[in-house]
Amino acid sequence: MRNITQSSILSYVSLTFPASAAAMPIVVYILPYYADNLGLGLSIVGLIFFIGRMLDVFTDPFMGYLIDKYPSRWGKHKHWIAISLPFLMVAIYLIYLPNQSMVSPAYLFFSLFIAYLGFTLLVVTQLSWSVVLAPSYDERTRLLTAREFVSLISMLVIIALPALIEIYTSSLEAKIQSIGVTSLLLIPLIIITALIVVPDKKDALTERAQVPALEMLKTVLVDKELSRLVFANLFLAFSQSLFGALSIIVFNTIFELPEYSARATLLYFIMGAVGLFIFRSLSLKTSKHFSASICLAFGSFIIILAWFISPYVIGTQYSIYLLFAFTFFYGLSFAGATPLIMAMVGDVSEMKEKESGYSKSGAVYAYVTTIAKIGFSLAAAIPYIILETFVGFEVSLGANNSEFSKAVLWNIYMLVPFFGYAIAGLMIYSHPHSREKVSEFRGSNEL
């Protein structure tokens, strides 16, 4: 699909707002809030989050199949985006504006399940849509890095709210309520605008009968190039989700700077936006896989450098400088790799579509998000359960926890992302589809 207007592109990429603005704070703020302030405990909250995400894993492949198999007269994607809206609205209200007398493990589980069902409907469909809107190697890079940029802006808007409120009150409840109200106001406007403005695949109905389910499943599971990207993205997703799930706890317990937690988080996302443009520019000059691997190598280096420095700084008056220096430089690597991986997945999807003669972008991106969600679910559950059940860490004690439990927390927080970034970078570096190969393939299939 060519000649997409700037307004259509802007509306398309704005669809990242619901998942970025509402889903990201679930890991950063909601899990600690329900564990500590609402009294559910780290182990219970971690287990609920894990079960909810693991159930969500099974919805992604099903969703990918539905996208490819059941288009509508409006196109392949629009009706699925519309269906996501009521799920998102109900879930955000329940999670961010809870009636505290009703909160229980079952309440949190139900709310998270509804939320992630809505995110699945929205995210898998939007990623599949990118193959239609950006059919070439560099177009896909530009579109999906623009998508990631808007995702970061969405996070910045949402993270800025707690940072502003932090100036007047340290109440975590007030911070969370501000996120919920803002999301409820903006999400319907964004989704409805995109449904009106963004074009969809007009011949989607004619392809409905051309999607054999078993062949599609075989394609996505046995493809080595696709699986390499999928599992690299798994290591990246696990590392970033673990980092997010533990950040507020680390800021409060290790650095003992709870009054700066929102502002440090805000800086992290600001630098992510800066890094996105750096690694996007590098990818357009070299290749997606080279730029993504450099981004991940840089992130690994910053982590291990901070880890070596930390024993000499934490606990002194210089702790605050380490906190902000680390979030400044490590933040540069936060958003650079993910959109490039998604763009590489789009390249693979396009090549498989041309080989088979039918669209399977929904199934391909469902495979990516399904495996990533396994990483997301494990990233909060494993450290929370280890810390509380096996190490004796209590989130309510903060800096008064034992030195041993704080050391375990710090090493999990730093070393797991270090190895995750390093492994993902090595896997991506060997990706075989360069700009020249993709262009050559497209040219040979258009003759």
Q: How confident is the model over 309-364, as pLDDT tens digits?
A: 999 999 999 999 999 999 999 999 998 999 999 989 888 887 777 766 666 777 78
φ/ψ of residue 75, rounded to 5:
130, -165
Which pLDDT tens digit goes with each residue over 280-292? Answer: 999 999 999 999 9
For residue 235, give the nearest of 412, 371, 432 by alpha carbon: 371
Given pLDDT bands bounded at 50, 70 and 90, which one contains residue 110?
Answer: very high
- Predicted local confidence at residue 202, as pLDDT: 64
Average pLDDT over residues 153-169: 82
Distance between CA atoms of residues 423 and 243, nearest Å: 16
Q: Given this model, what pLDDT does residue 72 score?
A: 83
Pair 302, 329: CB distance under 8 Å:
yes
Average pLDDT over residues 51-57: 79
CA distances from 223 to 349, 350, 367 (A): 11, 13, 11
Report the C-alpha dihedral over residues 398, 316, 170, 385, rounded to 10 degrees: -30
Is the CATH code 1.20.1250.20 the one for domain 14-201+213-440? yes
- Do 79 and 125 touch, CB atoms closer than 8 A? no
pLDDT score of 66 more than 90: no
Give the number of other Cβ atoms within 10 Å of residue 437's Cβ. 14
Mean pLDDT of 100-118: 92
pLDDT, tens digit, 9 for 90 and up, residues 176-227? 999 999 999 999 999 999 999 998 876 655 555 455 555 666 666 667 888 8
Amino acid 51: pLDDT: 86
Predicted pLDDT at 210: 56
**For residue 40, pLDDT beyond 70:** yes
Could you tell me which residues come within 8 angstroms of residue 441 by beta carbon, excluding any fewer than 6 positions away? Answer: 351, 354
Q: What are the residue ranges spanned by the domains of the chain? A: 14-201+213-440
Distance CA 218, CA 210 (A): 15
* Residue 379 and residue 62 in contact, taking contact as beta carbons nearer than 8 Å: no
Overall average pLDDT of the 55-66 stretch: 79
Between 435 and 5, where is the model more confident?
A: 5
Is the pLDDT at 447 greater than 60? The verdict is no
Q: Rounded distance, CA 436 to CA 138, Å?
A: 11
Mean pLDDT on 36-50: 87
160-197 residues labelled b (16+ CB within 10 A) or e (exposed) = bbbbebbeeeeebeebbbbbbebbbebbeebbeebbee
Residue 158's pLDDT is what? 83
Supply the pLDDT for residue 190: 95
Task: Say which range, 388-392, 432-436, 441-445, has the weakest mean pLDDT.
Answer: 441-445
Residue percentage of the chain with pLDDT more than 70:
90
Place of tokens 């964004």: 190
Average per-residue pLDDT in the chain?
86
pLDDT score at 209 = 42
Average confidence (pLDDT) over 411-433:
93
| CB environment 20-40: b (16+ within 10 A), e (fewer) | bbbbbbbbbbbbbbbbbbbeb
Helix axes 213-222 and 224-253, enclosed angle (nearest 10): 70
Q: What is the pLDDT of residue 57?
A: 75
Choose between 37 and 86: higher pLDDT.
86
Q: What is the pLDDT of residue 26?
A: 85
Q: Higher-confidence residue: 290 or 443?
A: 290
pLDDT score of 1: 46
Cα–Cα nearest to 62, from 117, 19, 22, 15: 117
- Quote the pLDDT of residue 357: 64
Query: What is the C-alpha separation between 343 and 322, in angstroms, rounded?
Result: 34
Nearest residue to 196 via CA among 81, 298, 314: 81
Render pLDDT for 374-401 as a digit per residue (tens, 0 to 9). 888 788 788 988 998 899 998 889 899 9
3-state secondary structure the chain: CCCCCHHHHHHHHHCHHHHHHHHHHHHHHHHHHHHHHCCCCHHHHHHHHHHHHHHHHHHHHHHHHHHHHCCECCECCHHHHHHHHHHHHHHHHHHHCCCHHHCCHHHHHHHHHHHHHHHHHHHHHHHHHHHHHCCCHHHHHHHHHHHHHHHHHHHHHHHHHHHHHHHHCCCHHHHHHHHHHHHHHHHHHHHHHHHHHCCCCCCHHHHHHHCCHHHHHHHHHHCHHHHHHHHHHHHHHHHHHHHHHHHHHHHHHCCCCHHHHHHHHHHHHHHHHHHHHHHHHHHHHCCHHHHHHHHHHHHHHHHHHHHHHHHHHCCCCCHHHHHHHHHHHHHCCCCCCHHHHHHHHHHHHHHHHHHHCCCCHHHHHHHHHHHHHHHHHHHHHHHHHHHHHHHCCCHHHHHHCCHHHHHHHHHHHHHHHHHHHHHHHHHHHCCCCCHHHHHHHHHHHHC
